[in-house]
């Protein structure tokens, strides 16, 4: 229980010292935990840390709808922190208005989420544990490895169960486009289930391919148990391999996908290795 007490002490202090105007976390004031914005130190005794709850999108909406000087703290896990960083990088959230109270997950939780990085940048709460390699896990393997045709069949069988609840989109902490492509008649046919495998699920997956922080919110929200997060693994791995890039880990570095052809690859991390005809040389 000490980790909960630590969390309460930290949040209480931040509120008492008026460093923050509110802290978003879980409160069990009424029996079961629900999200809550703690605004006074007295309320903090009801703060709890379980179950896993993703706050990034909520935090974004709270900051957007509160006065310009309102600063919000968020008690969150590694994945949620990475989601917040992605929202900041995409100009959805002002980093000066938030403060993260980071919490490391246990090994069991990491295993349940197939999480490669079950801790925030600075774990204020809990102990950092080793992450999980999804490719080591038996059920995940079946979706990630083997012959293309087998994987295709496996995914088809799963996605044929889709009931088009939009839960994967709604629960994703960084799925924030307005208007949403999934509500665009050009892409997704209305009024029929299952939602189209290519135009709904793959558009959603690719739309998030360089932003996905592998929090597993989509998988958790799926009523029919489609392991949607696994759709992202290949792309995440390839970004890590080709560009040493992982979404949400470095606030200063934009996604390689965002760079344009003129300054390729993105200038924030490397000068192009070939002569750049658009760059006016000082020497001429």
Partner 1 sequence: MKLEFVKTICPYCGTGCGLLLQVRDSRVVTTLPDKKHPVAKGTLCIKGWAAHEFIHHPDRLTQPMLKKGDIFQPIPWDEAIGLAATKFKETAEKYGPDAVAGLSSAKCTNEDNYLFQKLIRAGFMTNNVDHCARLCHGPTAAAMSQALGSGAMTNSITDFVGADCIMMFGSNAAETHPIIMGEIYKGKDQGATLIVVDPRRTEVARNADIHLQIRPGSDIPLIGGMMRHILDNKLEAKEFIKERTEDFAELKNFLKEWSVRKASEECGISPDQLRQVAQIYARAGEAMIVFCMGITQHACGTANVFAICNLAMLCGHVGSAHSGICPLRGQNNVQGACDVGALPNVYPGYQSVADLVMKDKFERAWGRPLSDKPGMTVTEIISSSGTGIRALYIMAENPLLSDPNQNHVIESLPKLDFLVVQDIFLTETARFADLVLPGSCFAEKTGTFTNTERRIQLLHKVVDPPGDAKDDFTILCMLGRALGLDYDYTDPAQVMDEMAEVTPIMAGVHFNRLGSAGLQWPCPADDHPGTRFLHAGKFTRGKGLFVVPGYTPPKEMPDKDYPFTLITGRMFSHYHTGTMTRRSSFLNREVDKAFVEINPDDADAHGIQDGDKVRLSTRRGSISTTARITPRMNRGAIFAPFHFSEAPANALTIEELDPISKIPEFKACAASLVKE
- Give the interface with partner 1 as residue ranges (CB under 8 A): 30-37, 39, 51-53, 62, 65-67, 157, 160-161, 163-167, 170-171, 183, 190-191, 193-194, 220-225
- The Cα–Cα gap between 36 and 23 comes to 8
- What's the closest the beta carbon of residue 122 comes to partner 1, in angstroms? 26
Cα(118)–Cα(114) distance, rounded to whole angstroms?
A: 9
Indicate the residue among 61 and 130 with the shorter CB distance to partner 1.
61
Phi, psi of 2, rounded to the nearest 5 degrees: -65, -30
Q: Which of 72/144 has CB closer to partner 1?
A: 72
Backbone angles phi, psi at 51, to 5 degrees: -80, 175
Minimum Å gap between C-beta 24 and partner 1 is 9
Residue located via tokens 């560009």: 243
Peptide bond into 186 cis (omega under 30): no
- Asked if 54 contacts 83 with a C-beta cutoff of 8 angstroms, the reply is yes
Q: Min. distance of Cβ 208 from partner 1 in angstroms?
A: 19
Decide whether 18 or 190 has the Cβ nearer to partner 1. Answer: 190
Using alpha carbons only, what angle is made at residue 269 by residues 236 and 89, rounded to the nearest 5 degrees?
60
Nearer to partner 1, 47 or 239 (CB): 47
The least CB distance from residue 26 to partner 1, in Å, is: 10
Q: How far is the CB of 66 from partner 1 (least distance, A)?
A: 5
Comparing CB distances to partner 1, the nearer of 15 and 266 is 15
Residue 88 sits at φ, ψ, to 5 deg, of -65, -45
Residue 38 CB, shortest distance to partner 1, in Å, is: 11
Minimum distance of partner 1 from residue 153's CB (angstroms): 14
| 61 versus 238: smaller Cβ distance to partner 1 | 61
Token pair 């079950």 is found at: 118
Distance, CA of 240 to CA of 93 (rounded, Å): 25
Task: Indicate if the alpha-carbon torsion angle 228, 50, 174, 221 is positive or negative.
Answer: positive
**Euclidean distance between CA atoms 238 and 36, whole angstroms:** 37
In the complex with partner 1, the residue whose CB is nearer, 28 or 263, is: 28
Helix residue ranges, H only, 18-131 = 56-64, 78-89, 107-113
The CB-of-216 to partner 1 minimum distance in angstroms stands at: 11
- Comparison of 9 and 224: residue with beta carbon closer to partner 1: 224
β-pairing verdict for 47-48 and 98-103:
unpaired
């Amino acid at each position: 229980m000490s980790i909960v007490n630590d969390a309460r002490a930290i949040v209480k202090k931040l509120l008492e010292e008026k460093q923050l105007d509110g802290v978003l976390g879980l409160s069990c004031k009424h029996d079961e935990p629900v999200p809550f914005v703690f605004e006074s130190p007295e309320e903090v005794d009801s703060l709890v840390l379980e179950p896993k709850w993703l706050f990034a999108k909520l935090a974004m909406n709270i900051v957007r709808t509160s006065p310009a000087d309102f600063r919000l703290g968020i008690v969150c896990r590694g994945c949620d922190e990475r989601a917040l960083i992605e929202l900041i990088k995409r100009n959805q959230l002002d980093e000066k208005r938030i403060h993260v109270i980071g919490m490391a997950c246990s090994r069991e939780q990491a295993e349940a989420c197939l999480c490669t990085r079950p801790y925030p940048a600075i774990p204020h709460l809990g102990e950092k544990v080793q992450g999980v390699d999804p490719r080591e896990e038996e059920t995940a393997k079946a979706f990630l490895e083997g012959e293309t045709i087998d994987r295709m069949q496996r995914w088809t069988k799963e996605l044929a169960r889709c009931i088009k609840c939009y839960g994967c989109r709604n629960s994703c902490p960084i799925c924030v486009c307005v208007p949403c492509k999934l509500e665009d008649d050009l892409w997704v046919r209305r009024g029929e289930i299952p939602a189209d495998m290519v135009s709904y699920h793959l558009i959603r997956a690719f739309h998030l391919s360089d932003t996905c922080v592998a929090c597993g919110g989509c998988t958790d929200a799926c009523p029919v148990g489609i392991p949607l997060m696994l759709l992202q693994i290949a792309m995440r791995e390839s970004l890590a391999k080709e560009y040493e890039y992982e979404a949400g880990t470095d606030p200063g570095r934009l996604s390689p996908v965002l760079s344009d052809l003129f300054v390729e690859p993105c200038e924030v991390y490397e000068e192009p290795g070939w002569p750049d005809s658009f760059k006016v040389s000082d020497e001429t």
